Amino acid sequence: MPNLSVRILDKLPNAAKGKRDVYHDDKVKGLSVRVTSSGYKSFIVRKKKNGKDSLTTVGHYPTMTVEQARVKARSLLSLFDSGIIPKQREQEQQTQKITLRQVYLDYVKSRGTNLKENTKKGYESAYNNYLNQWSNTPIAEITRDMVEKKHRAITKQSPTRANTVMRQLRAYFNYAMGEYEDGSGNPIFIHNPVSRLSHIKAWNREKRKQTVIKTYDLKKWYDTVMELPQHQFNNKKPNTAEVCRDLFLFILFTGLRRREASTLMWSNIDFKDHSLTIEDTKNHEAHSLPLTPFLLEVLERRKSDSPYIFQGTTPDKPLNDPKKQLEKVRQISGVYFNLHDLRRTFITIAESLDINTYALKQLLNHKDQRDVTGGYIITDMERLREPMNKITDYILEQVK
């Protein structure tokens, strides 16, 4: 066919139904115009390299003129000759524009059910409060200097929070480095700017919380907790104070994490074997514990039609936030504590009683990746019963 021109393009007939006709330009080899059955005309460039056929749409007629199409076609063909596939280049350029918000959303989605609800809320809080101003920034434009400056700014408010936010940002970049690829399967992003903090040793020192209920405060705390129902004067069913009382005791005498204890269901309890098993744990490992006579008494008090042992204001939901009852115990007893302090108190007592290290790890469902031998040791439930009884007896002795 002769060189493409306005006169020729305007006269091209529509393709047959379901078909597309292609007409080649004699002036620029590789440039063609494609016509659909509806008369839609597109400029295309087709090039074969190493036996592979690559086709790229240049533009649409008459929005793009023939001369404009030829100029762009020559540029694309030059890229082909240099070993660059234009469609891949365009895709890579689009990928380079991926914003931090998109990476954040993709990361959370990729974690799926492996991401605990509390962890997800923590990510949302950190992102919205500290990273939101970078939401529309392509991550390729987030520099190491920007990261260092952001870390310093947050550190002025809270050193621990600054570290937490940067660890999350590091996770987003690591995800992007493994997730987004070019046309050849190579990573688009190869640098994590958060690495600057390690290089210049800028991570803040974090002190692990060591708050526990002292032995000499246990009786005051215990007596106040046991008297909690006396301080509820409404007719709520169930009695929230009673539920909170037993939840506090259950955490102290098992060392369970707050969420593990508060969402316990009757299906987690084996009354025949006097044990409990939790499948949905922080480290995703099933956790089983023997139940002491004291704990069985607590469970006996909580028996109801609700599927949850520590039910909320309605039978179909677990207890949500016992902060009012928590504060009441603090005020009356004079012992300041939070629910995780009860777990730490359990641990401290166990260590003071020289409980075997591996037995203690089993009781707490601790998983240490650095401990090579620990993975080969399977502790039988009955072997945990003795240390559980020992811890329980010690606490009860202190609160007499």
Last residue of a domain, one of 136, 164, 199: 199
Are 253 and 383 in a shared domain? yes
Question: Within this chain, do residues 243 and 368 fall inside the same structural domain, yes or no?
Answer: yes
| Predicted local distance difference test score (pLDDT) of residue 55 | 73
Q: Tell me whether residue 47 is in a domain.
A: yes
Q: CA–CA distance from 166 to each of 144, 191, 303 (Å)?
A: 12, 15, 45
Residue 204 domain flag: no
Closest residue by Cα to residue 43 from 5, 69, 8: 69
**Together in a domain, 242 and 383:** yes
Inside any domain, residue 90: no
pLDDT confidence of residue 7: 85
Question: What SS3 class is residue 369?
Answer: coil
What pTM did the predictor assign? 0.57
Report if residue 352 sits inside a domain: yes
What pLDDT sits at residue 98?
87
Q: Rounded CA gap, 108 and 101, in Å?
A: 11
Query: Cis omega (within 30 of 0) on the bond before 387?
Result: no
Supply the pLDDT for residue 28. 87
**77 and 104 assigned to the same domain:** no
Q: Which of 29, 57, 84 is the endpoint of a domain? A: 84
Per the domain annotation, does 320 fall within a domain? yes
Predicted pLDDT at 219: 95
pLDDT for the residue numbered 373: 39
Domains: count for the chain:
3
Q: What's the token pair of residue 87?
A: 């469609």
User: Do 231 and 360 lie in a common domain?
Assistant: yes
Residue 227 CA to residue 363 CA, distance in Å, equals 29
Residue 78 sits in the same domain as residue 140: no
Q: Note down the domain range covering 156.
A: 100-199
> What six digits make up the tokens of 232?
């509820």
Domain match, 220 and 331 both: yes
195 and 150 in a common domain:
yes
Phi-psi region of 179 (alpha: psi -120 to 50; beta: other; left: phi over 0): alpha
Answer yes or no: do 257 and 353 share one domain.
yes
CATH number at residue 180: 1.10.150
Q: What is the pLDDT of residue 181?
A: 72
Residues 134, 26 within the same domain: no
What's the token pair of residue 282? 């922080």
- According to the model, what pLDDT value does residue 273 have? 92
**Could you tell me if residue 206 is inside a domain?**
no
Which residues of the chain carry a pLDDT beneath 50? 369-378
Q: What is the CATH number of the domain that holds 287?
A: 1.10.443.10
Asked whether residue 362 falls in the same domain as residue 292, the answer is yes
93 located within any domain: no
Q: Which of 144, 172, 199 is the last residue of a domain?
A: 199
25-40 pLDDT, tens per residue?
Answer: 888 888 889 998 888 8
Q: Residue 374: what pLDDT?
A: 45
Is 323 a member of any domain? yes
78 lies in the same domain as 108: no
Query: Residue 45 sits in a domain of what CATH number?
Result: 3.30.160.390
